[in-house]
Amino acid sequence: MIRRNFLGVLTGSSLSLHPGLKLLSDEYLSEIARLPAGVHPAVLATDEDYWAQVGQAYTTSPQIINLNNGGVSPSPQIVQDAVERYNRYANEAPTYYMWRIMDQGREPLRENLATYAGCSAEEIAINRNATEALDTIIMGLPLEKGDEVVMTRYDYPNMLHAWRQRELRDGIKIRYAALELPVENEEQIVQSFTAQMTSRTRVVHITHIINWNGQILPVRKIAEEAHKRGAEVVIDAAHSFAHLDYKIPDLGGDYLGTSLHKWLSAPIGSGMLWIKREKISKIFPLIPNDSPRSENIRKFENLGTRSFPIEQAIGVALKFQEAIGNQRKEARLRYLKNYWAEEAAKLPKIKLNTSLDHRYSCALAHVGVEGKEASEIESFLFSKYKIHTSPIKWEALNGVRITPHVYTTLKDLDRLKEALYQLGRG
Ligand SMILES: Cc1ncc(COP(=O)(O)O)c(C=O)c1O
């Protein structure tokens, strides 16, 4: 039923294959949103017909199987087309179309992002990536010599580097929570953070989903412990935003940064910063404007000349996300991960370094093979099976990270299972 309805949209007599882009995208999005109405996300997660329709929105490579969607996600065709369309406008008269016309799109986009994220538009700044968003906080927080920051050695390198630069420059001190991955004990995770909190702790930096192996951390519980001790909380949501179903305020943080070119499938080079309203004035912008002490979140958007086409096309990606729905997407991503990982974990030489418990993981998983280096596994998967993954050797992890996306098919994952069987059988 779903399939017939949907194909009707693509090939029906009222629409040619190349109708006006707007018409196709609006019809397409409303079909994606409408067809599974009333179907429980966990049931829909197994409906290959529905997800095949969603997958048609993407222009995936026919040559390789991309299972590194964790690095950067591709954008659906409608998003790519929007970037190109805006770019063509921009190039007709850049300063006119960018600064007088497209610039007017930023406030509606801010509103839409805020509605999606469950916060006020006055708390959202639009920028280019998670690094820029989080560095704004890390570099902008007023801290003094001897102040302490708690984080883990599994946080993202750019963020570790930024905090270490403050250590070097300002004499703050980083204390590392002794996290061991994977971990399936919420108390233990929280405890690893609280064990490092002291009377000097000013900031706790938490990565919601650890990029190396997909570990989900209980952000809210850690944040509560930090707040009890008077510390502020910075959340790295690069991998959780538009991947897990939540509203930003529910996480209990004070500051949050994310890329939008990961799970939102927005154009490459798009990101977002959220700051709790009452904290805005005390953060100095990374790139200052004329009033760095202002309470206006827009002071963080003084980025110099940047791509308006990329920024404006974020709105199209947001529509696509909302058409699928957060809960449906999260359920499907977890289903895809478990589809391959549950079987792989049973192979004698395979070491799955990611929990299969839904509280601790979703789409991303890390897998090692006894006696093999990360680079060997990656190169075997690519050369023999044309499966593209990310080799990860970091702290105790040595293997590849496998990340499907909503367009990934079970056929792709069957090929992965076959490849892992070759690597992991006794
Ligand atoms: C956990 C985490 N934080 C931050 C980043 C930085 O994202 P970007 O390169 O988009 O700035 C990444 C990128 O992979 C990440 O995985």
Domain presence at residue 16: no
How far apart (Å, rounded) are the C-alpha atoms in residues 348 and 368? 11
Asked if residue 207 has its Cβ within 6 Å of ligand 1, the reply is yes
Amino acid of residue 331? A
Q: Residue 276 class from Cβ within 10 Å (0-12 exposed, 13-18 middle, 19+ buried)? A: middle
Tokens 């070119």 locate to: 261
* Phi, psi of 103, rounded to the nearest 5 degrees: -55, -25
Question: Residue 402 forms beta bridges with which residues?
Answer: 365
- Residue 418 and residue 293 share a domain: no
Could you tell me if 195 and 115 lie in one domain? yes
Tell me how far apart the alpha carbons of residues 182 and 355 are, in angstroms, rounded to a whole number.
6
270 lines ligand 1 (CB under 6 A): no
DSSP label of 27: H
Which residues touch 154 (CB under 8 Å, ≥6 apart)?
A: 179, 181, 207, 210, 212, 215, 394, 395
Nearest to 324 by CA among 91, 44, 16: 44
In a domain, 63, yes or no: no
- Say how many Å lie between the CA of residue 259 and the centre of ligand 1: 7
pLDDT in tens, 10-63: 333 233 333 444 556 888 899 999 989 899 999 999 999 999 999 999 999 999
Ligand 1 atom 10: residue of nearest CA? 129
299/364 same-domain check: no
In three-state secondary structure terms, 127 is strand
Q: How far, in Å, from the CA of 106 to the mean position of ligand 1?
A: 23
Phi, psi angle pair for 215, to nearest 5°: -60, 130
178 in a structural domain = yes
Nearest atom (ligand 1) to Cα of 211: 16
| Distance between Cα 209 and ligand 1 center (Å) | 11
Of 267, 292, 318, which one is at a domain's C-terminal end? 318
> What's the 238 CA to ligand 1 centre distance in angstroms?
5
What are 387's strand-pairing partners?
Answer: 65
For 39, the token pair is 């179907």
Asked if residue 250 and residue 103 are part of one domain, the reply reads yes
Identify which of 270, 298, 304, 307 has the alpha carbon closest to the alpha carbon of residue 97: 307
Q: Are 391 and 203 in contact (CB under 8 A)?
A: no
259 lines ligand 1 (CB under 6 A): yes
The predicted-structure confidence for 261-308, as pLDDT tens digits, reads as follows 999 999 999 999 999 999 999 999 999 999 999 999 999 999 999 999
Q: Please compute Rg for the chain using Cα positions.
A: 22
Q: Which of 136, 181, 211 to mutate to test the pocket of ligand 1 (most atoms within 8 A of CB)?
A: 211
The reply to whether 337 and 276 lie within a common domain is no
Q: Which of 266, 386, 242 is nearest to 256 (CA)?
A: 242
Residue 147 CB neighbour total at 10 angstroms: 18
DSSP secondary-structure letter at 354? S
pLDDT at 26: 85
Residue 131: which residues within 8 A CB-CB, separation 6 or more?
Answer: 158, 159, 257, 271
Q: 176: which 2 tokens?
A: 């590392």
Check pocket membership of 239 for ligand 1, CB cut-off 6 A: yes
Please give the number of the atom of ligand 1 that sits closest to the Cα of 133. Answer: 11
Q: Name the burial class of residue 104, with classes exposed (0-12), middle (13-18) and buried (19+) by CB atoms within 10 angstroms of its CB.
A: exposed
Q: Would you say 143 and 203 are in contact if contact means Cβ atoms under 8 Å apart?
A: yes
Residue 211 near ligand 1, beta carbon < 6 Å? yes
Q: Does residue 130 have its Cβ closer than 6 Å to ligand 1?
A: yes
Are residue 216 and residue 335 in the same domain, yes or no? no
Residue 24 is predicted with a pLDDT of 62
What is the pLDDT at residue 97?
Answer: 93
Q: Is residue 18 part of a domain?
A: no
pLDDT recorded at residue 183: 98
Q: Which of 129, 208, 258, 303 to mutate to test the pocket of ligand 1 (most atoms within 8 A of CB)?
A: 129
Count CB-CB contacts under 10 A for residue 190: 18
Distance CA 401, CA 404 (A): 10
pLDDT at site 22: 55
Instruction: Give the pair of three-digit tokens for residue 121.
Output: 């538009």
- Its domain, for residue 417, covers 328-424
- 158 CA distance to ligand 1 centroid (A)? 8
User: Contact at 8 Å (CB) between 420 and 344?
Assistant: yes
Query: Probe ligand 1: pick from 68, 156, 163, max atoms within 8 Å of CB?
Result: 156
Query: Are residues 395 and 291 both part of a single domain?
Result: no
pLDDT of residue 23: 52
Partner residues linked to 367 by β-bridges: 352, 400
Same domain, 313 and 363: no
In whole angstroms, what is the distance from residue 278 CA to residue 410 CA? 47
Give the distance (Å) from ligand 1 centre to CA of residue 223: 21
Calculate what percentage of the chain has a pLDDT beyond 70. 94
236 and 294: one domain? yes
Q: 10 C-alpha vs ligand 1 centroid, how far in Å?
A: 36
The answer to whether the CB of 156 is under 6 A from ligand 1 is yes
| Residue 417, ligand 1, Cβ within 6 A | no
Tens digit of pLDDT for each residue in 246-256?
999 999 999 99
CATH of residue 254: 3.40.640.10
Question: Could you tell me if 291 and 186 lie in one domain?
Answer: yes
Q: Whose CA is nearest to atom 16 of ligand 1?
A: 211
- As a residue count, the chain comes to 426
In a domain, 299, yes or no: yes
β-bridge mates for residue 68, sequence order: 403
Whole-number pLDDT of residue 426: 79
Q: Is 215 in the pocket of ligand 1 (CB under 6 A)?
A: no
Domain count, the chain: 2
Residue 83 within a domain: no
**Averaged pLDDT, groups of 10, the chain, 426 residues long:** 38 33 74 91 97 96 96 96 96 95 96 98 98 98 98 98 98 97 98 98 98 98 98 98 98 98 98 98 97 98 96 97 97 98 98 97 98 98 98 96 98 98 94
Asked if residue 112 is part of any domain, the answer here is yes
Give pLDDT, residue 77: 95
Please check whether residue 5 lies inside any domain of the structure. no
182 Cβ contact list (under 8 Å, min separation 6) = 213, 215, 353, 354, 355, 360, 361
Q: How far is the CA of 175 from the centre of ligand 1 (A)?
A: 21
- Shared domain for 298 and 245, answered yes or no, is yes
Minimum-distance ligand 1 atom for the alpha carbon of 131:
11
Q: Where are the beta strands (DSSP E) in 178-329?
A: 201-207, 232-236, 255-259, 271-275
CATH number (domain holding residue 404):
3.90.1150.10
Within this chain, do residues 375 and 256 fall inside the same structural domain, yes or no?
no
- Compute, in angstroms, the gap from residue 426 CA to the centroid of ligand 1: 36
Asked whether 130 and 255 are in contact (CB, 8 A), the reply is no
Where does a domain end: 318, 348, 376? 318
Look at residues 270, 300, 318 and tell me which one is the last residue of a structural domain: 318
